Amino acid sequence: MESTKQWREVTGLVHSVETCGTVDGPGIRFIAFLSGCALRCVYCHNPDTSFVRRGKEKTAGELVDEIALYAPFFKNAGGGVTLSGGDPLFQPEFSAAVLRGCKELGLHTVLDTAGTLGMRASDAMLEDTDLVLLDIKAGTPEIYRQTTGGNLEPTLEFARRLHRLGKKAWLRYVLVPGLTDKDACIRGVAEFAREVPIFERVDVLPFHKMGAFKWKELGLKDPLEATSEPGRELVKHAKSIFAEYGFTNIY
Ligand code: SF4
């Protein structure tokens, strides 16, 4: 994006924002949840953000002006801005514009994505991204499809590209009993992550049912209605697999 004027005028659909996020990247962060996603994960806890394109239309300039109000606070708190969703790569021009604006404010930037639409991210956009939170949702193509309705390969290709560009990432893996808890599935992710060494940290995220009410609100059947949250032992086991592949920074 060449000039300030150009990026400020790009419009996008913003579902909501959070001004004190602590889990989506380092420090305390401004999180912008952008609408839209190409996947249909069975455990999506934001189906109102991703499946249905709900949100408020804003220009990147408007969103960055909002962020600017808190910029000194985020800098002092070792934080910054995270674009999440949905998937921010569903609106690549808008995300690129907001990231540009955040870099002009001198803020640390994070892109929280499943990587499926990685080909939509320009090199310039990735240049403005300090860290990627990459969700690899399964380690076999079959379970990936069952979990998300999509293909695993574009996410892997995006990770390889991040490696070529010298980018750093945190790996996120959602653990669902009876779906992504199979050893072969976890090993598939861990082995890939070892071979593409961009991951500074691994987050094993236990599936939770906090978004279940949103499926109901949208009149959709929750595919995991009968699935329980994983127990402590299962989470420990999944983390131990990542540890076997040499990861030490596992949460
Ligand atoms: S990638 Fe994230 S936002 Fe998209 S469907 Fe899956 S869980 Fe929901």
CB atoms within 10 A of CB 154: 16
Mutate to test the pocket of ligand 1, among 35, 46, 173, 215 (most ligand atoms within 8 A of CB): 46
Sign of the C-alpha dihedral, residues 125, 127, 129, 131?
positive
Q: Specify the CATH number of the domain 4-244.
A: 3.20.20.70
At 189 the pLDDT is 98
At 56 the pLDDT is 94
Q: Residue-wise pLDDT tens for the chain (251 aa)?
A: 656 669 999 999 999 999 999 999 999 999 999 999 999 999 998 888 777 678 899 999 999 999 999 999 999 999 999 999 999 999 999 999 999 999 999 999 999 999 999 999 999 999 999 999 999 999 999 999 999 999 999 999 999 999 999 999 999 999 999 999 999 999 999 999 999 999 999 999 999 988 788 888 888 888 999 999 999 999 999 999 999 999 999 99
Distance 33 CA to ligand 1 centre (A): 12
Task: Name all residues whose Cβ lies below 6 A of ligand 1.
Answer: 37, 39-41, 44, 46, 50, 85-87, 114, 148
Q: Is the peptide bond before 101 cis (omega within 30 degrees of 0)?
A: no
**What's the pTM value of the predicted model, to 2 decimals?**
0.96
14 and 34 Cβ atoms separated by less than 8 Å:
yes
Residue closest by Cα to atom 7 of ligand 1:
44
Angle between helices 183-195 and 153-164 (to 10 degrees): 20
